[in-house]
Amino acid sequence: RTGWRIRRKKLFRILRLACEGKSRREIAAELFMSEGTIKRRISEILNKTGYDNIMRLAVHAVTEGSIVPNMER
């Protein structure tokens, strides 16, 4: 799949947090956004990358080394 590398900072941060296994609610709280906004941004990420599921994209991003999730909680 081409074009999956996200350059926009907020979208990348959302993807990184998804890679850490955070829910939309947790991502929204961390980024001070509404859950609806996060849902729309995730849809934007999926549309840009051609993926149909944020976790599939997250797995791909981690596997390729594009994102190193911070798994400390």
| pLDDT tens sequence across 9-32 | 788 889 889 888 899 999 999 999
DSSP 6: -
- As given in the structure block, the two tokens for residue 6 are 């996200």
Amino acid at 12: F
What is the model's pTM? 0.75
**CA dist., res. 34 & res. 65, Å (int):** 29
Q: Contact at 8 Å (CB) between 44 and 11? A: yes
Per-residue confidence at 36, pLDDT binned at 50, 70, 90?
Answer: very high
